Structure 1
Amino acid sequence: MIKTILFDVDGVMLSEERYFDASALTVWEMLYSPQYLGVRSDSFTPAPVEEEIRRVRDQVFANDEVLDLIKARGINSNWDMVYLAFSYQVIRLVEALMPHVGDEAKSILRGQVDRAELAKLREWGAAYAPDFTVDYAAFIPEFAKGSAQKAEMLLYLNQITKERLGVDTEIFSRSSTLWQLCYETFQEWYLGDERVAASIGRETSQTGKKGFLTDEIPIVPPAEMIELFRTLKEKGYTLGIGTGRPTIETHVPLSEMKILEWFDPNRVVTASHVLEAEEEFPSHAPMSKPHPYSYVKGLLGLSAPNSDVVNFSLPIQKGDEVLIVGDSPADFLAARSIGCKFAATLTGLSGQEARAKFEDVKADYILDDVRDLLSILE
């Protein structure tokens, strides 16, 4: 009998669309802004109108085919999505520069890539490869050649560098300087000028970004979600959250919609808690989903030391008393690692098309949306 229910946020309560928009805009800025690579084939503005956002999203993620591939391989972090898409184009640019600057171009990919290194690539690109064209769709066949899953996808960039450029490197990983830069730039887009400093410890590098945090899209009407969570609480269920969103990006929209108050505050686990745990236990990183950390922490509570969480014996005893509600393969894999029940909601990126995938992996329950949860509970 289920006693504890742990929910993902994106694709379950809130639409992922604005996250994907922010991801695409981050890649776009880092490719075309003169503060980053400054590729000349497109223009950049920090305040695009909705029509421009749609154009950028369609191009950067090749009509979402790139997103589909990344999500299917178990990547659930928008920061990782940005890093993969941008880093791949960096590799392509270095390849285009090699006939002109040779070993100097190769050296860029043998050390950490920071703003200074991107500036070198920008200068060389303007001088030697002014006609370089970003090919977003090339990402798909490049990664389809391999079978890398989850965090291995980031490491696969090292193999691509070896195969295409003949450069032995290990710089591509979640602990790299470039990953941190991608993370910070994404936060600028999502939080906007007014809120970003609280997240990354500095003001935005490119002012003029309004952010998406106050422009969230609920998947079902907030009043109906409130009624659902009120009913679950009245029935005695313990409710928690395990999300890939940082704390501010979780608390602000859910509080404004009057949803957060229905969850046990000791069981609202965010990406901010994951990053803290990775700093404390770097040998266990990455710990974002599909790693079970978020949900195990939600099960034990925020007051539980991270040492207890990372060393918790899995699968858990009485796994049939815990239900995870999520929309992605990463959520499903986390639930299976924990040994608990899983309910898939068909309100993520793939919509109803995800039904067949969840049927294939034998998800315990498949729901049209989170409101159907009451139909499967006693």
Structure 2
Amino acid sequence: MIKTILFDVDGVMLSEERYFDASALTVWEMLYSPQYLGLKGDAFTASPVESQIRTEREQVFAKDEVLNFIKSRGINSNWDMVFLTFSYQLIRLAEALKPKLGSDAVNLLVNQIGREQVDQLREWAKAHAADFSVDYAAFTADFAKGSAQKAEMLVYLNQIAEERCGVQTQMFSRSSELWQLCQETFQEWYLGDERVADSIGRATKQPGKTGFLTDEIPIVPPAEMIELFKTLKEKGYTLGIGTGRPTIETHVPLREMGILEWFDPNRVVTASHVLEVEEEFPALAPMSKPHPISYVKGMLGLDTPNSEAVKFPLPISNGEEVLIVGDSLADFLAARSIGCKFAATLTGLSGQEARAKFEEVKADYILDDVRGILSIL
């Protein structure tokens, strides 16, 4: 009998669309802004109108083909999506520079890449690769040659660098300076000028970003979600959250919609908490979904020491008492690792098309949206 219900946020309560918009704009900025690579071919502004956001999203993710491919390989973090998409084009740029600069261009991929190295690439591109053309769709073709899944995709970039540039490197990983740069730039877009300093400890590199945090799109009308979670709480269920969003990006929109108050504060687990676990246990990183730690912490409570959560024996013996509600394969895999029940909502990126995949993996329940949970309890 189910006693604890743990919910994902994106694709269950809130639409992922704004996250994907911010991801696309981050890649766009890092490719075309004069503060980053400054490539020719696409004019950059820190304050794009909605029509331009739609255009850039369509281009960067090749009409969502790249996005769908990344999601299908188990990547659930927008930070990782940005890192993968931008790093791939950076490797292609180094390849284009090699005929003119020789080993200097590709050797830049061997060590850490931060702002200084990005600045160097910008100057080289301006002088020697003015005709370089970004090819977003090529991403899928190159990655499809391998079978890398989840975190393996990030380090697979090292293999692509060797194949394209003839250089051996281990630089591409989630612990790299470049990943950190991608993460911070994404936060600028999502949080905007006013809120970003609290997240990354500095102001935006290029002011003018209003952010998407106050422009969230609820999947179900907030009043209906409030009634749902109120009903579940009154029935005695313990409600928690396991999300890939950082804390501020979870609390602000859910609080403004009146949803957050129905969840046990000790069981609202975010990417910020997962990063703390990774810092304490770096050998286990990355621990974003499908790693189960966010849901394990939600199950045990935030006051449970990280060491205890990391070592908690899985699968649990009382799996029938815990239900995870999510929209992605990553959520499903986390639930299976824990050994608990899983309810899939068909309100993620793939919509109703995801039904076949969840039927294939034998999800315990498949719901049109989160409101259907009352029908299975």
Band of TM-score, shorter chain? over 0.9
1: CA distance between counterparts of 2:356 and 2:341? 18
For residues 339-367 of structure 1, the C-alpha deviation after alignment (integer angstroms, 9 at most, x for no partner) is 00000000000000000000000000000
Helix, strand or coil: the match of 1:136? coil
Task: Tell me what 1:236 maps to.
Answer: 236
Task: Tell me what 1:291 maps to.
Answer: 291
In structure 1, runs of 5+ residues without a counterpart are: none
The TM-score normalised by the length of structure 1 is 0.99
Shift of 1:226: 0.4
For residues 181-233 of structure 1, the C-alpha deviation after alignment (integer angstroms, 9 at most, x for no partner) is 00000000000000000000011111000000000000000000000001100
Shift of 1:145: 0.6
1: CA distance between counterparts of 2:30 and 2:333? 32
1: CA distance between counterparts of 2:196 and 2:295? 26
Identity %: 79
2: CA distance between counterparts of 1:296 and 1:135? 40
Q: Does 1:326 align with 2:326?
A: yes
Letter in 1 for 2:16: E
Task: Tell me what 2:374 maps to.
Answer: 374
Task: Tell me what 2:120 maps to.
Answer: 120
2: CA distance between counterparts of 1:329 and 1:102? 43
Task: Tell me what 2:344 maps to.
Answer: 344
1: CA distance between counterparts of 2:83 and 2:149? 15
The TM-score normalised by the length of structure 2 is 1.00
Task: Tell me what 1:98 maps to.
Answer: 98
In structure 2, runs of 5+ residues without a counterpart are: none
2: CA distance between counterparts of 1:166 and 1:93? 13
Task: Tell me what 1:134 maps to.
Answer: 134
Task: Tell me what 1:14 maps to.
Answer: 14
For residues 131-186 of structure 1, the C-alpha deviation after alignment (integer angstroms, 9 at most, x for no partner) is 10000000011111110000000000000011111100000000000000000000
Shift of 1:41: 1.1
Task: Tell me what 2:212 maps to.
Answer: 212
Of 99-108 and 15-24, more deviation after overlay is shown by: 99-108
Shift of 1:106: 1.4
Runs of 4+ with >6 A deviation: none
Letter in 2 for 1:330: A
CA RMSD of aligned residues (A): 0.4
2: CA distance between counterparts of 1:107 and 1:166? 10
Aligned residues: 377
Task: Tell me what 2:51 maps to.
Answer: 51
Task: Tell me what 1:25 maps to.
Answer: 25
Shift of 1:107: 1.4
Give matches, 1:151-300, under 5 Å. 151-300=151-300
For residues 72-95 of structure 1, the C-alpha deviation after alignment (integer angstroms, 9 at most, x for no partner) is 100000000000000000000000
2: CA distance between counterparts of 1:218 and 1:285? 31
For residues 250-299 of structure 1, the C-alpha deviation after alignment (integer angstroms, 9 at most, x for no partner) is 00000000000000000000000011110010011001100000000000
2: CA distance between counterparts of 1:194 and 1:29? 19
1: CA distance between counterparts of 2:360 and 2:278? 32
